[in-house]
Amino acid sequence: MFQSDFSSKDALPAGPARGRGAGLNPGNRFEDVRLHVLGEHQDEVRAEHPNGVQVKTRVLPDRSKSFINPVDSPDLSMKWTINPYRGCEHGCIYCYARPGHEYLGMSSGLDFETVILAKHDAPALLRRELARPGWRGESITMSGVTDCYQPVERELEITRRCLEVMVECRQAVGIITKSKLILRDLELLAKLNEQRAVHVAISITSLDNELAARMEPRASSPRDRLQTVRALADAGIPVTVMTAPILPGINDREIPALLAAAADAGATGAGWVMLRLPYQIKDLFLEWLQRQFPERAAKVEGFVREMHGGALYDPRHFIRQRGQGPMAQQIAATFRLFAKRHGLNQHRQALNEEAFRRPLRGGQTELFA
């Protein structure tokens, strides 16, 4: 169960926000009364603040009573996931997790990237749940929703403290991030790797600094992400690169270069996912597209609709992550070709779940049996 100190009266006003991905705070789909800001007001705000309005990040406590979550989607490889944060300051305009903020009474727009819910009790919850007799040491993915190494982690260290619990218990974990901050915890990852109990996936959507800054304004630069891949690989930690998502007409042409750079940095595998636009993300993405690429906005929108039968999104499993039609097939074929060329199509070895040791009171552990 979730509890927070957030009130709907605290909702952010719509308008241009400096250094943020979303340019809107669309109405919550669960609310009967919604506030929509007229375009004329947006124009007035932009005229008054041509360089954008500064919107500070707020961190609120997330008092969730459980932490390890099951995943039952047939098109996802993960079975269990943990997420130290809700919302993500990286501000990726395409993030499929944005609608989750609407369950908290907020918007999937600016709220998602400026109001972060932090699970301060996560390490204690994790220890408690790993100690349960029914837990069998199966692999956990961190984070399946929002980035566990987003900027607030530098100060709060919730992810690091969770990793310390995992090291103690030899709990197998796969980590997904687009932040170089993960290297801060390299010694913990190395300890897990001694048990073959860790795998890292670094998301790299573009090698172009300017494009990456437009899509993911507060994430690490492409150069830093490639250096992170290299550092992890040099430490012997299995690392793959996720060229995800692919935005047709925006970054699809970079697939060959992205995979070449990933292999050169030491990645041993690669994956990709097509752009997903569930719920209000459609409005956010189209507004961003018109703002950032007005000359090709209509063309890109046409590509997206072509892959979803004329709609902007098809929620059916497997189709939602790949799309359909000639362009989707071409993107998939391009990825397969260059992944094979660079040796990134090998089957990844499963994490070792047999080393798990159940935590006991007092910080001790027992061998998993």
Residue 44 contacts by C-beta under 8 Å, 6 or more apart in sequence? none
| Distance in Å from the first CA to the final CA of the chain | 31
pLDDT in tens, 133-186: 999 999 999 988 999 999 999 999 999 999 999 999 999 999 999 999 999 999
pLDDT at 5 over 90: no
Average pLDDT score over the chain: 90
pLDDT exceeds 50 at position 14: no
* Segment 253-269 mean pLDDT: 98
Least confident of 25-34, 190-199, 203-212, 227-236: 25-34
Give the separation between CA 115 and CA 82, rounded to whole angstroms: 19
- Residue listed under structure tokens 């048990």: 195
Question: Residue 95, by phi and psi: left (phi above 0), alpha (psi -120 to 50) or beta?
Answer: beta
Neighbour tally for 355: CB within 10 Å: 18
More confident residue, 49 or 189: 189
Assess if residue 367 is contained within a domain: no
pLDDT of residue 154: 98
Structural domain of 255: 13-345
Q: How far apart are CA 122 and CA 131, in angstroms?
A: 14
Which residues, at least 6 apart from 126, have a Cβ–Cβ distance to it below 8 Å? 67, 68, 82, 162, 165, 166
pLDDT digits (tens, 9 = 90+) for 87-140: 999 999 999 999 999 999 999 999 999 999 999 999 999 999 999 999 999 999
Q: For residue 102, count CB atoms less than 10 angstroms from its CB and return exposed for 0-12, middle for 13-18, buried for 19 or more.
A: buried
What count of other Cβ atoms lies within 10 Å of the Cβ of residue 178? Answer: 26
pTM value surpassing 0.85: yes
Q: Are strands 80-82 and 69-70 parallel, antiparallel or unpaired?
A: antiparallel
11 — pLDDT class (breaks 50, 70, 90) = very low
Helix (H) or strand (E) holding 270: strand 269-274
At residue 30, the pLDDT reads 86
d(CA 130, CA 67): 10
List beta partners, residue 86: 117
Q: Does 164 map to a domain?
A: yes
Does any domain span residue 368? no
Q: Does residue 161 lie in a domain region? A: yes
Q: Is residue 215 part of a domain?
A: yes
Under DSSP, is residue 347 helix (H, G, I), strand (E, B) or coil?
Answer: coil
| CB 151 within 8 Å of CB 89 | yes
Q: Is residue 350 part of a domain?
A: no
* Residue 356 falls inside a structural domain: no
Nearest alpha carbon to residue 21 among 109, 96, 127: 109
206-228 pLDDT, tens digit per residue, is 999 999 999 999 999 999 999 99
pLDDT value for 347: 85
- Placement of tokens 């992890």 in the chain: 232
Taking the alpha carbons of 213, 177, 302, 340 in that order, is the dihedral positive or negative?
Answer: positive
Does a structural domain hold residue 357? no
The total of structural domains in the chain comes to 1
Percentage, residues of the chain above pLDDT 70? 88
The enclosing domain of 254 has a CATH number of 3.20.20.70
**Residues 287 and 23: beta-carbon distance below 8 Å:** yes
